Structure 1
Amino acid sequence: MSLSLTGRRAAATVLAAALLVPLAACGNDDTRKDGGASTGSGSAKAAAGADLTVLAAASLTDVFKTAGAAYEKSHPGTKITFSFAGSQELVAQVTQGSPADALVTADTKSMDKVRADTGTPTVIAKNRLVVATGEGNPHKVDDLKDLAGPELKVVLAAPEVPAGKYSRQILDARKITVEPVSLEPNVRAVLSKVELGEADAGLVYRTDAESAEDKVDAVEIPDAQNAVAQYPAATLKGSKNAEAAAAFVAWLSSPEGQKILQDAGFQKP
């Protein structure tokens, strides 16, 4: 029995609709794979074009410039501006409401002070102290105890700065009394004093000394006498680019971010 023209048209319509259903389902799967938030690529798209401000410890100055350039290259449209200072200054900026998207300090205690203003911190790297001396170590500093020499001009970070706290910790543990000629607001200022010859020696992070290896020598401090600096990173709750900030903080713990940090001399978290 043959179908009428109207019947044939109705059957064709039903068949076409049936064929479109699996195609639509495939389209939905592709959307989830390529742009859905569950895979993270949606976050990347949301982060595209974001201008991020990251408050970072002074000892991260060189490595974060490299990391920022690498991140911007792999995330087109994203621009990162870093503000480097001593961790205590960064904490003050956060508590005063300075607009920023993420915070990275050189110790966990500083980060703890602004816990109400941040997301959950993640330690992205570790560091250790060395004695920085003038090139060629002209004053023959071989050990921490040599810093107590009365004729040696020693400069340290201020006690409220993480590097200053670590310095006092290791000196006090060995009962070494050092009378610094100055106390600096951050560890990079300590390094600068030694580089310029304004100080004979100073306690800085190993990575700082490596960044100026053509201008200073580094005297290693045995692990048993040393302190381990931890660098926590966190997003700031006041960020206007929360998703993009979270993506950058997560990237610091990624294989690419970790390689950049470790190539600069930082230790694994």
Structure 2
Amino acid sequence: MTRSARRTRRTLQVTGVSAAVLLTLSACSSDDSASSASASGKPSGEVTVFAAASLKESFEKLGKTFEEDHPGTKVTFSFGGSDALAASITGGAPADVFASASPKTMKIVTDAGGSSGAPTTFVRNQLEIATLPGNPHNVASLKDLTDSDLKVVLCDKAVPCGAAAQKALDTGRLKLTPVSWEEDVKSALNKVVLKEADAAVVYKTDVEAAGDKVEGVEFPESADAVNDYPITLLKESRNPQAAKAFIELVRSPDGQKVLSEAGFLTS
């Protein structure tokens, strides 16, 4: 091998080593950046929240607050009957947080091993009768809803608001056959808003949210049918850091204030 060839080979070897060193340093730099971002503890990315229909207005408000407090995050909600949401979660639907309107529907998820840790109760909710504006049928009690001339709707018994309504009826030893069973509390309320029903047994929070579209009537039996609302981080969460931060907001004084203003009972 000539002296010139040996020099060329030596140069190529040095160049190859230098390139390898640069690649290693670059990889280390990337790893350090990732570690630094993780260590910063700042939530980022999308968080998907499955929540009971009665939480819609409050959670949407809290979602906006969360995104403002944590730039680079996005909160996506799926609202509906708690039983249907629980079934979707156990069926593999991707979600990070589940907020249910009753411990019973939350148990569907925990029994399936879908919860990461024990759920915690963050608010409670009480029933109220929603009537047409001005209460033209003079509904003053739960017993008044048993009048056969009234068109009354209830949530399905599998849904927390329906189970609570049945408990209230049992407390008053009353029997009521509704004109329809609705899949969630918003659907029941909407029947009255659209004047397709004279009254519905819903949550106080839903009456509040409807404003002057309905009129609320309180009844004593509702005190025996108050629903606890549990919330949990889901085991299959794709963004547990942001999910935990959202749950912390819900349980924080600011979150509790928003929920209290909506009519929820907070501790």
TM-score by length of 2: 0.82
In structure 1, list runs of 5 or more residues that go unmatched.
1-34
Q: Which residue of 2 aligns with 1:117?
A: 114
Instruction: Work out the CA distance in 1 between the residues paired with 2:249 and 2:52.
Output: 18
Q: Which residue of 2 aligns with 1:17?
A: none
Match of 2:65 among 51, 62, 70: 70
Match of 2:258 among 251, 257, 260: 260
User: What is the total number of aligned residue pairs between the two structures?
Assistant: 229
Instruction: Work out the CA distance in 2 between the residues paired with 1:254 and 1:223.
Output: 31
Q: Which residue of 1 aligns with 2:139?
A: 141
State the one-letter code of the partner of 1:200: D
Match of 2:192 among 191, 194, 201: 194
Instruction: Work out the CA distance in 1 between the residues paired with 2:265 and 2:130.
Output: 19
Q: Provide closer, same or farther for how the CA distance between residues 215 and 224 of structure 1 changes in structure 2, counting only shifts above 3 A.
A: closer
Q: Which residue of 1 aligns with 2:51?
A: 56
Percent identical:
45
Q: Provide closer, same or farther for how the CA distance between residues 160 and 197 of structure 1 changes in structure 2, counting only shifts above 3 A.
A: same
| Residue 103 of structure 2 is aligned to residue 103 of structure 1 | no
1:45-71 alpha-carbon deviations (Å, 9 max, x no partner): 2x12x1011000000111111111111
| Residue 90 of structure 2 is aligned to residue 92 of structure 1 | no
Asked whether the equivalents of residues 131 and 220 of structure 1 are also in contact (C-alpha less than 8 Å), the reply is yes
| Residue 160 of structure 2 is aligned to residue 162 of structure 1 | yes
| Residue 174 of structure 2 is aligned to residue 184 of structure 1 | no
Alignment of 1:225-240 (within 5 A): 225-240=223-238
Asked whether the equivalents of residues 195 and 216 of structure 1 are also in contact (C-alpha less than 8 Å), the reply is yes
Deviation at 1:36, TM superposition (A): 11
3-state secondary structure, aligned to 1:177: coil
1:13-55 alpha-carbon deviations (Å, 9 max, x no partner): xxxxxxxxxxxxxxxxxxxxxx899xxx833x2x12x101100
Asked whether the equivalents of residues 57 and 106 of structure 1 are also in contact (C-alpha less than 8 Å), the reply is yes
Q: Provide closer, same or farther for how the CA distance between residues 64 and 225 of structure 1 changes in structure 2, counting only shifts above 3 A.
A: closer
Deviation at 1:223, TM superposition (A): 6.2
Asked whether the equivalents of residues 100 and 239 of structure 1 are also in contact (C-alpha less than 8 Å), the reply is yes
Instruction: Work out the CA distance in 2 between the residues paired with 1:163 and 1:93.
Output: 19
Instruction: Work out the CA distance in 2 between the residues paired with 1:137 and 1:197.
Output: 12
Which portions of structure 1, spanning 4 or more consecutive aligned residues, are displaced by more than 3 angstroms? 223-226
Q: Provide closer, same or farther for how the CA distance between residues 83 and 207 of structure 1 changes in structure 2, counting only shifts above 3 A.
A: same
3-state secondary structure, aligned to 2:78: strand
Deviation at 1:246, TM superposition (A): 1.2
Cα RMSD between the aligned structures? 1.6
3-state secondary structure, aligned to 1:212: helix
Asked whether the equivalents of residues 171 and 224 of structure 2 are also in contact (C-alpha less than 8 Å), the reply is no
TM-score by length of 1: 0.82
Instruction: Work out the CA distance in 2 between the residues paired with 1:112 and 1:208.
Output: 24
Deviation at 1:250, TM superposition (A): 1.7
3-state secondary structure, aligned to 1:113: helix
